[in-house]
Structure 1
Amino acid sequence: MKFNKKSLAILLALGLAGCANNAETENNNKREVETKEEVNNNDQSEKPEEKEEQIVEDKNQAHYDVNLSMLKGPTSAGAINMVDWSKNDDDPKFSFNESVEGAPDAVIPQLVSGESDMAIIPPNLAATVYNKTEGKIKVLAINNLGVLYLVENADLNINSIEDLVNSGEAIYTSAKGATPDLAINEVIKDAGFNESDVDIEYLAEASEVAQKMIAGEAKVALLPEPMVTNVLMKSENAKVALDINELYEKETGNPLISAVLVARSDYLEDIDVPLLLETYKKSIEEANSNVDATAALLDKYDIMPEVVAKKALPKLALTYIDGEQMQTMIKNHLEYLYQSNPQLVGGSLPEDDFYYTK
């Protein structure tokens, strides 16, 4: 085949153009690859720990509303300062919407339904809620140890459980299945007697039991502080017969735990838990160190009368225990109750995810 000069020129031009297009395509592809690599490198530059730090920073700058269920009596004394701080601080991290109930049973449906984010309740009820919700709550801290005493309102000379059984007197207490009921039955059993050997009369609230003692309508009562102090102040004949906390620990090897702070697991995912616990610890420390101011707040929030609170606060066994020590103490307490009657803890012992130990 023969090509003239004109044809060769045209072919040469087309060839050069094709080369140019191929070169441009290669350059474009190269730039695209470089751009993708740059994007990928930028994505990889944000390490997991940096993302975690960002989440922590976001939480530190956040504000949290907390629906908190509390009980009248000693278990709420440690929380009352932080509740009041949240209402008077110009920029509180936590705003507490408190609900004050007369008996622990009223708190359970609030936690189960999600109406409450957090609550202060006896540890066995916390285990019960854990089982009812299939593990959807966690225990954060212990806030009260033993505050239970047997009070007599007559010259019965009760110095032991045997004396109590032999007296034949009915024991008045509150809320079947709550901490006082569990404690007295364990102490009676460990002393070699049966529940049927004593007559226990249950009233709805500890305040009702106290009123019966003050009115002289009951001779023996099992009461927590501050109700014990209230009875001793208003009844000349009343006196403390037995320290149930001491007997319980002696017989079981475990300290009596009156109350713990619990929260819904899904709620904890959205808040700064370490800051919450730090605030709670400070609130308990304030209650122990500033009795007069705390007593005034307990009266203000209808937890207990100020005059009673001033005398009772040093006796409320207010404490703050979290982490592994908390887990060990509550586990031992619940295991002992479970061996006695599985239904006392809701039928089964909680798994390790019940305990917040971070």
Structure 2
Amino acid sequence: MITRRSMLAMGTGLVAGSALTPLSTQFSFAAPASGGLTMYGPPVGPSVTLASIAAQGKLDEAANGKVGFEIYKSPDVLRANFISGDWKLAVTPSYVAANLANKGLPVKMLNIMTWGMLYVLSYDGEVKKPENLAGETIGMFFRNDMPDLVFGTVMEKKGLVVGKDYQLHYVGTPFEALQLLLSGRIKHCVLPEPAATAGLLKGKKLGKKLSRAIDLASEWSAVTGAEGRFPMAGAMVHQELLDKDPAFVEAFHTACASGTEWVKDNTMAAAKIAAETMPLPAPVIAKSIPATHLTTQRASDIRTELEAFYSVLAEKNPAIIGGKLPPAEFYL
């Protein structure tokens, strides 16, 4: 069963400022139809790409009308709307897609749109690597979920045992973790983007010397042999949409690829577009983009990498992916 906590995780948690809501509030799309469609998303990294796609009309022709973009805020509706069939395409933490597929929903993973967006923020300028956190307490959100499992795997591979060599201070959300950090109640904290960027900017305004001490994507690479990244979130598609309009699905993937490159090359312009719909100021959005590791990778092309990611997460919590790896046809 997918719990509310697992649905709230991503990545992919992952918002900043006054709108700190979880990644798994999800990007969602109405099915293509004459007259256009609306895309929905939370105020996080890949939504910058989607906002730009909408503003530039990249999918209007494929949808036979205007494609719009709106922020979607409820954290608990993804599973219900896929079960009901109301939603056919969504960007989700990659493990959520695997879980839903293993629970019997006819969904496939189309692509990955962001690599790991998890960082350790710290007041201690000497913290540069996981080993420097020995003997420390670190703030963590979503216990036994993806951020916790990624961090725990990195620390374990470095020979550090939780409860013995370091402590975790668990809280419910990235916002709570950030508040603890800014209040000085903890010295180190795991945060996703754009919460990490928002924390750094807020800390600077408060005269606090916070730093982005550890990039967990790089550390994940060091301990697992991955390529300096992990497949955190991407687009999930319902089989009904694939059967009904495969051309639109391909157009969407193509738009994601070109839109991602445009965002990375035009961070402030993209941030200004996104700020029209996302409850985040353009400077925060712009500064978070490079740290969000935006990409567009076809799921079938990185199946081995996805399976490796799922397998490591499942070592600590098999239920996170529904108890098994998805079948080959899950990867589009």
Normalised by the size of structure 1, how large is the TM-score?
A: 0.71
Larger Rg: 1 or 2?
1
Whether 1:336 and 2:305 are equivalent positions in the alignment is no
Whether 1:327 and 2:303 are equivalent positions in the alignment is yes
Of 224, 229, 233, which residue of structure 2 is paired with 1:259?
Answer: 233
| Structure-2 residue corresponding to 1:120 | 91
Partners of 1:240 and 1:339 in 2: how far apart? 28
Query: Where does the alignment leave 5 or more consecutive residues of structure 1 unmatched?
Result: 1-60
More relative contact order, 1 or 2 (CA 8 Å, 6+ apart): 2
- Following superposition of structure 1 onto structure 2, how do residues 185-200 of structure 1 map, counting pairs within 5 Å? 185-197=152-164, 198-200=166-168
Would you say the 8 A contact 1:76–1:303 is kept in 2? Answer: no
Would you say the 8 A contact 2:71–2:278 is kept in 1? Answer: no
Partners of 2:34 and 2:321 in 1: how far apart? 34
Partners of 1:242 and 1:204 in 2: how far apart? 22
Shift in Å, 1:192: 2.2
- Following superposition of structure 1 onto structure 2, how do residues 170-319 of structure 1 map, counting pairs within 5 Å? 171-197=138-164, 198-235=166-203, 236-254=208-226, 255-271=229-245, 272=247, 273-302=249-278, 304-319=280-295
Count of residue correspondences: 291
Relative to structure 1, the CA distance from residue 99 to residue 116 in structure 2 (aligned partners, 3 Å threshold; closer, same or farther) is: farther
Shift in Å, 1:259: 0.9
Shift in Å, 1:98: 4.3
Q: 2:237 is paired with a residue of what secondary structure?
A: strand
Percent of pairs identical after alignment?
23
Whether 1:141 and 2:114 are equivalent positions in the alignment is no
Would you say the 8 A contact 1:137–1:263 is kept in 2? Answer: yes
Shift in Å, 1:88: 10
Shift in Å, 1:111: 2.8
| Structure-1 residue corresponding to 2:9 | none
| Structure-2 residue corresponding to 1:150 | 120
Query: Where does the alignment leave 5 or more consecutive residues of structure 2 unmatched?
Result: 1-31
Whether 1:163 and 2:132 are equivalent positions in the alignment is yes
Normalised by the size of structure 2, how large is the TM-score?
A: 0.77
Amino acid at match of 1:163: N
Q: 2:49 is paired with a residue of what secondary structure?
A: coil
Shift in Å, 1:142: 0.8
Relative to structure 1, the CA distance from residue 345 to residue 89 in structure 2 (aligned partners, 3 Å threshold; closer, same or farther) is: closer
Partners of 2:170 and 2:81 in 1: how far apart? 23
Coordinate RMSD, CA, aligned: 2.9
- Whose helix proportion is higher, 1 or 2? 1
Amino acid at match of 2:192: P
Stretch moving more, 90-99 or 175-184 = 90-99
Relative to structure 1, the CA distance from residue 190 to residue 300 in structure 2 (aligned partners, 3 Å threshold; closer, same or farther) is: same
Amino acid at match of 1:319: T
